[in-house]
């Protein structure tokens, strides 16, 4: 099967409505969409990505009316976050409706939902006339795609259609907050910073995936965001003592010596986050052995950036 590449939301939505999967852009990364209520279509996502079946998916909606199809109730803490951050780079974990298939939630009693702010994503979901599930449109474990070309490299022949858009704005996935319990809990750092969340919910806590706990969010259980090269986190390139026999690369804020084959020098943390996954893919193309990534302060999107770096270096 050859993947159809199109810039028509009408054509792409026809693939969704016929039970196929379609990659499409959002403000965070490109997603791999399927009709949430079509279990066979959702199953195709797991096959295409090579994704473990116990890793839940995120539902994407184009308006709040669709939320009523997916959740049993919207807790008060979730209502506050929705009012402030929907549409946007925020995913909320909520008590699920009985209509949501178990394959979407990995059998959990919760469902993760977000409303993208990206205009093309909103128009596409609206044209599909159904909520979509949409994990990142990459092979499982690989760096998430921030361009349609990166999607095609991973997914050509594995998916029916790719809706072309511009390069994504954030470059990292959405923030995930669990609102299914009494106290809201940050499960995955992302495009919305912890400081912004605390401006709305001062008592929000930062969670982790403890052994034996159900995984309520993608990006918590398995190795993610990984290039083929070894990822090494450093304070500064001046502390790097790599072997001369290896091809190495650097991403961060400082100019570096010429013996690095590739480099990406960023003006700020926002640019670093936006460039990271694309740089990882460039390093794969250049057969880099070691990628040195400069640490950043864990505030704002820096919290999400350090999370992705640690998981890539795991």
> How confident is the model over 191-219, as a mean pLDDT?
78
Q: What percent of the chain has pLDDT over 90?
A: 83
**Structural domains of the chain in order of their starting residue, each with its CATH number:** 4-206 (3.90.870.10), 230-312 (3.40.50.11030)
Split at pLDDT 50, 70, 90, the class of 284 is very high
β-strand pairing of 161-163 with 4-6: parallel
What are the angstrom distances between the C-alpha of 96 and each of 63, 73, 179, 206, 279? 17, 8, 11, 22, 37
Identify which has the larger pLDDT, 194 or 215.
Answer: 194
> In the predicted model, is pLDDT for residue 209 greater than 50?
no
Say if residue 227's pLDDT is above 70.
Answer: yes
Distance between CA atoms of residues 314 and 308, nearest Å: 10
Strand (E) or helix (H) holding 272:
helix 269-285
Instruction: Tell me what percent of the residues of the chain surpass a pLDDT of 70.
Output: 92
State the chain's mean pLDDT as an integer. Answer: 92
Does 236 have pLDDT greater than 80?
Answer: no
Q: Does the pLDDT of residue 239 top 90, yes or no?
A: no
Among 79-93, 125-139, 202-216, which is the least confidently predicted range?
202-216
Asked whether residue 211 carries a pLDDT value surpassing 50, the answer given is: no
For residue 288, give Cα distances in angstroms to 68, 174, 228, 283. 48, 28, 8, 5
pLDDT at 226: 83
> Where is average pLDDT lowest: 203-207, 223-227, 263-267?
223-227
The whole-angstrom separation of Cα 111 and Cα 296 is 32
Evaluate if residue 220 carries a pLDDT over 90: no
- Looking at the predicted structure, is the pLDDT value of residue 43 above 90? yes
Q: Tell which residue, 71, 92, 165, has the closest CA to residue 124.
A: 165
What average pLDDT does the segment 255-281 reach?
A: 91
Strand partners, 132: 35, 60
Cis preceding linkage at 49, omega within 30: no
Sorting pLDDT into bands at 50, 70 and 90, what band is 216?
A: low
**Checking DSSP bridges between strand 132-133 and strand 31-35, what pairing results, if any?**
antiparallel
* Range in 43-57, 235-249, 300-314 the model is least confident about: 235-249
For 87-114, write each residue's pLDDT tens digit.
999 999 999 999 999 999 999 999 999 9
């Amino acid at each position: 099967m050859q993947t159809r590449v199109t810039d028509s939301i009408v054509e792409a939505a026809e693939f969704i409505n016929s039970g196929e999967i379609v990659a499409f852009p959002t403000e965070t990364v490109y997603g791999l969409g399927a009709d949430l209520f079509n279990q066979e279509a959702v199953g195709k996502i797991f096959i295409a990505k090579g994704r473990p079946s116990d890793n839940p998916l995120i539902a994407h909606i184009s308006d709040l009316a669709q939320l009523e199809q997916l959740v049993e109730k919207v807790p008060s803490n979730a209502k506050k976050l929705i009012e402030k951050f929907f549409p946007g780079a925020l995913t909320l974990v909520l008590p699920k409706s009985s209509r949501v298939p178990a394959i979407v939630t990995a059998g959990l009693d919760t469902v993760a939902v977000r409303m993208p702010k990206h205009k093309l994503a909103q128009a596409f979901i609206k044209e599909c006339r159904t909520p979509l599930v949409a994990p990142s449109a990459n092979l499982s474990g690989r760096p998430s795609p921030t361009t349609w070309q990166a999607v095609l490299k991973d997914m050509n022949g594995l998916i029916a259609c790719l809706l072309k858009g511009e390069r994504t704005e954030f470059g990292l996935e959405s923030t995930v907050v669990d609102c299914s319990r009494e106290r809201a809990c940050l499960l995955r750092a992302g495009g919305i910073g912890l400081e912004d969340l605390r401006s709305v919910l001062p008592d929000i806590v930062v969670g982790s995936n403890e052994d034996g706990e159900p995984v309520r969010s993608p990006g918590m259980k398995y190795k993610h965001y990984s290039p083929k090269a070894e990822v090494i986190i450093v304070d500064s390139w001046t502390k790097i003592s790599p072997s001369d026999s290896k091809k190495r690369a650097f991403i961060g804020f400082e100019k570096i010596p010429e013996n690095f084959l590739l480099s990406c020098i960023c003006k700020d943390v926002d640019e670093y986050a936006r460039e990271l996954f694309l740089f990882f893919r460039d390093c794969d193309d250049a057969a880099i052995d070691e990628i040195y990534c400069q640490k950043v302060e864990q505030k704002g999107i820096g919290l999400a950036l350090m999370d992705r770096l640690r998981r890539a270096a795991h």
